[in-house]
A and B are shown apart, each in its own frame.
Chain A
Amino acid sequence: MMGAGLFLSVIFSGDVMASVAANQVFAPWNDPKETPLIEFRGVTKRFGDFTAIDDLSINIYEKEFFALLGPSGCGKTTMMRMLAGFETPTEGEIILAGQDIAPVPPNKRAVNMMFQSYALFPHLSIEDNIAFGLKREGMPKNDIADRVAEMLRLTRLEKFARRKPHQISGGQKQRVALARSLAKAPKLLLLDEPLGALDKKLRQDTQFELMDIQEKTGTTFVIVTHDQEEAMTVASRVAVMDHGKLMQVATPDRLYENPENVYVADFIGDVNLIEGTARKTGEGSYEINWCERTPPLKSTSDTVLSSGQGCTIAIRPEKVSISSEKPEEADNAVQGKIIDIAYLGNLSTYHVKLANGQMVKAQTANTRRISRRSFTWDDDVWLSWTATAGVLLKG
């Protein structure tokens, strides 16, 4: 299902890009005149011997929905806690709206956080939870009531205003936590695994709700998640992290289509990785020797490789065609035997074993009824893809 979901979300974000492009593309990261809202400058964070964040620099712009994505322990939560003020960087500095925030305590920052556990105050009603931050600001009573009512409306919680947190469902708690953190109209909202505790269906609905609210309020959101589907769905840009380092920062479609390294290619979605050595055949085109006694694979690449350099071709399964006869015009064609078929309803993924033992996955849309499927287990088939289908990566 993951592959299918990703596929859809890529189409979806492509759609958004297209519709926005008619007016103006939201891409402040490409505009050198734009000043970022948040700048991490060579930030390192160590806990004793353990380096959680390793010399990391990143720019996040106003109105962005920025996702920090990575496996647990990659340092994404530490980054968020440094933004909130619960941790201070060991080295480097964090600039928020032109100001170094290291000496600013959490209660003086124009940053609010939505906690993974929601951290709703159990002794206060929903409306008092939302009003909590406003009261600390010393806002006049009438203004507080107005702002709370506005937040309740935004998160569709009007009916639950007087209940206590233990009297509402998980999805409602999540919305209360969001309303409470948005009430003070922060410059920056941090969301720590905001949907982690919800079930799948509710999570998907809530993702769109989050995007909607982000757009309405115009607040900059930074979300921490380990769920790539979630990050790809909601975020304008995603930072993939591993072991305290940034692996790549890009829009969801670029992450998927143009991963910069094997880690990102492998982490985001489903991918075939074929290792070999490159030989330059022209400007930006290469032949890759990957197996003896078989013709080399052709691939174009923006990455400059020298002849004889080790490399990896990353090809998405949906970009690999499957056929019973050897296709005439294909740039690359390899023969193999079907070992496994993963039937996903709308799609089928064929796991094909090549002569040298390499497994390659090919995905096709199920345009016919299953009884009329052309291939089955142990069939000998040809897999083919164009020279531009794959991404050539170093190493």
Chain B
Amino acid sequence: MKRLLIAVPYFWLLALFLVPFLIVFKISLSDVALARPPYFPQWQFEEGWSALTDYLRALDFENFWFLSTDDLYWKAYLSSLRIAVVATFFTLLVGFPIAYGMARAPLEWRPTLMMLVILPFWTSFLIRVYAWIGILSGEGYLNQFLMWLGVIQDPLIILNTNVAVYIGIVYTYLPFMILPIYSALEKLDESLLEAAEDLGCSRFTAFWLVTFPLSKQGIIAGCFLVFIPTIGEFVIPSLLGGSSTLMIGKVLWEEFFNNRDWPVASAVAVVLLLILIIPIILFQRNEQKNREAEG
């Protein structure tokens, strides 16, 4: 019975992660073909074992080689990394004060504040990103408002630039940053700050020497939770970004649907996954350390 229970999550992982990954990996080793599905070779069960060797012989790493020769892909990966790093930094900059304010709020307010942070998830992600187009566009609410105030004479061009992408990412992933930091700050014993002050710290040094190190695990967790999905982000750069916004998610989409080159698109996806494994392992290690410190 116990083994069966343990088997359930493993089966889940196998069926929904490993098998699809192997299929994608196999496609990345294939060649593009004018067929349906658009790649070659195809494995035919009825042709028996003899066909298997021919089939395997047809697979190669040509597509990965192609990725390394065309600098579009390198640039896309690097640009994605850069955008993810910068966006994670801004999310932290916005998220930390919010989490801090929540953890310091009166106890009876906290559930409401928490609710307000989670509330956006109840609306479709796509609709919320579309809503930003309405705010940021040339005739959007933001420009109308600033012109009404008299701050600017001509509308700012924000939409279809990287700034809009950053705004979209910070907005979308903010809860993933706030929640782990909040949970770390909420556990912080108020008397630790009083003790720090009592021992000669100003409010600011007390924050820097006590609050910050004790919320570090939450900050690290929040940064990974924002950074990891941001690298592969597709919807936000394609809706809010411009033609100059280069992100690997967009490249992937174009390879699949515009070029109909499934093998190259699959190779892009496999490399993206390999890149993401590093931060995922680091994140897991941070979580493990967290649990050990508490235990």
Interface residues of B in 191-223 (CB under 8 A from A): 191-192, 194-202, 205, 209-210, 213-214
Query: Do B213 and A136 touch (CB < 8 A)?
Result: no
The residue on B at minimum CB distance from A122 is B214
Number of interface residues of B (CB under 8 A): 18
Query: Do A107 and B200 touch (CB < 8 A)?
Result: yes
Query: Do B196 and A132 touch (CB < 8 A)?
Result: yes
Report the minimum CB–CB distance from A276 to chain B (whole Å): 49
Query: Do A107 and B198 touch (CB < 8 A)?
Result: yes
Query: Do A136 and B191 touch (CB < 8 A)?
Result: no
Report the minimum CB–CB distance from B283 to chain A (whole Å): 20
Interface residues of B in 176-202 (CB under 8 A from A): 189, 191-192, 194-202
Q: Given B200, B202, B210, B293, which contacts A121 in the complex, CB threshold below 8 Å?
A: B210
Query: Do A136 and B200 touch (CB < 8 A)?
Result: yes
In whole angstroms, how far apart are the Cα atoms of A132 and B213 in the complex?
14
B residues less than 8 Å from A119 (CB atoms): 189, 191-192, 194-195
In whole angstroms, how far apart are the Cα atoms of A115 and B196 in the complex?
11
The binding surface of chain B is classed by DSSP as: helix
Query: Do B213 and A115 touch (CB < 8 A)?
Result: no
The residue on A at minimum CB distance from B212 is A123
Report the minimum CB–CB distance from B289 to chain A (whole Å): 12
B residues less than 8 Å from A137 (CB atoms): 200
Given A121-B210, A123-B213, A123-B214, decide whether A107 and B197 contact each other with a Cβ distance below 8 A.
yes
Number of interface residues of A (CB under 8 A): 24
Does A184 have its Cβ within 8 Å of any Cβ on chain B?
A: yes
A residues less than 8 Å from B189 (CB atoms): 117, 119
Given A122-B214, A123-B213, A123-B214, decide whether A117 and B191 contact each other with a Cβ distance below 8 A.
yes
Given A122-B214, A123-B213, A123-B214, decide whether A113 and B202 contact each other with a Cβ distance below 8 A.
no
In whole angstroms, how far apart are the Cα atoms of A133 and B195 in the complex?
10
In whole angstroms, how far apart are the Cα atoms of A128 and B142 in the complex?
51
Interface residues of B in 267-295 (CB under 8 A from A): 293
Q: Given B202, B210, B214, which contacts A107 in the complex, CB threshold below 8 Å?
A: B202
In whole angstroms, how far apart are the Cα atoms of A119 and B210 in the complex?
11
B residues less than 8 Å from A181 (CB atoms): 198
In whole angstroms, how far apart are the Cα atoms of A85 and B209 in the complex?
20
Does A47 have its Cβ within 8 Å of any Cβ on chain B?
A: no
Given A106-B194, A117-B189, A117-B191, decide whether A112 and B199 contact each other with a Cβ distance below 8 A.
yes
Query: Do A112 and B198 touch (CB < 8 A)?
Result: yes
Question: For A86, A105, A106, A119, which residue has the most chain B Cβ atoms within 10 angstroms?
Answer: A119
In whole angstroms, how far apart are the Cα atoms of A137 and B200 in the complex?
7
Q: Given B194, B202, B205, B209, which contacts A115 in the complex, CB threshold below 8 Å?
A: B194
Query: Do B199 and A180 touch (CB < 8 A)?
Result: yes
In whole angstroms, how far apart are the Cα atoms of A33 and B195 in the complex?
36
Interface residues of A in 324-369 (CB under 8 A from B): none
Report the minimum CB–CB distance from B286 to chain A (whole Å): 15
Query: Do A84 and B198 touch (CB < 8 A)?
Result: yes
In whole angstroms, how far apart are the Cα atoms of A117 and B194 in the complex?
12
Report the minimum CB–CB distance from B29 to chain A (whole Å): 48
Report the minimum CB–CB distance from A85 to chain B (whole Å): 8
A interface footprint on B253-274 (CB within 8 Å = 1, 0 otherwise): 0000000000000000000000
Query: Do A86 and B214 touch (CB < 8 A)?
Result: no
Report the minimum CB–CB distance from B246 to chain A (whole Å): 41
A residues less than 8 Å from B194 (CB atoms): 84, 86, 106, 113, 115, 119
Question: For B192, B200, B202, B293, which residue has the most chain A Cβ atoms within 10 angstroms?
Answer: B200
Query: Do A115 and B195 touch (CB < 8 A)?
Result: yes
Query: Do B198 and A113 touch (CB < 8 A)?
Result: yes
B residues less than 8 Å from A86 (CB atoms): 194
The residue on B at minimum CB distance from A183 is B199
Given A122-B214, A123-B213, decide whether A133 and B200 contact each other with a Cβ distance below 8 A.
yes
In whole angstroms, how far apart are the Cα atoms of A116 and B195 in the complex?
11
Query: Do B201 and A136 touch (CB < 8 A)?
Result: yes
Interface residues of A in 75-91 (CB under 8 A from B): 84-86
Interface residues of B in 101-129 (CB under 8 A from A): none
A interface footprint on B142-178 (CB within 8 Å = 1, 0 otherwise): 0000000000000000000000000000000000000
In whole angstroms, how far apart are the Cα atoms of A289 and B192 in the complex?
58
Not counting A84-B198, A106-B197, A122-B293, a sample of 16 additional A-B residue pairs whose C-beta atoms are within 8 angstroms of each other reads: A85-B197, A106-B194, A106-B198, A107-B199, A116-B191, A117-B191, A119-B194, A119-B195, A121-B192, A121-B195, A121-B210, A123-B213, A132-B199, A132-B209, A137-B200, A166-B293
Residue numbers of B with Cβ under 8 A of A are 189, 191-192, 194-202, 205, 209-210, 213-214, 293
Enumerate the 3 nearest inter-chain pairs by beta-carbon distance, A residue then B residue, closest first: A133-B199, A136-B200, A119-B195
Chain A to chain B contacts (Cβ below 8 Å), 30 pairs: A84-B194, A84-B198, A85-B197, A85-B198, A86-B194, A105-B197, A106-B194, A106-B197, A107-B198, A113-B194, A113-B195, A115-B191, A116-B191, A117-B189, A117-B191, A119-B191, A119-B192, A121-B192, A121-B196, A121-B210, A123-B214, A132-B199, A133-B199, A133-B200, A136-B200, A136-B201, A137-B200, A180-B199, A184-B199, A184-B200
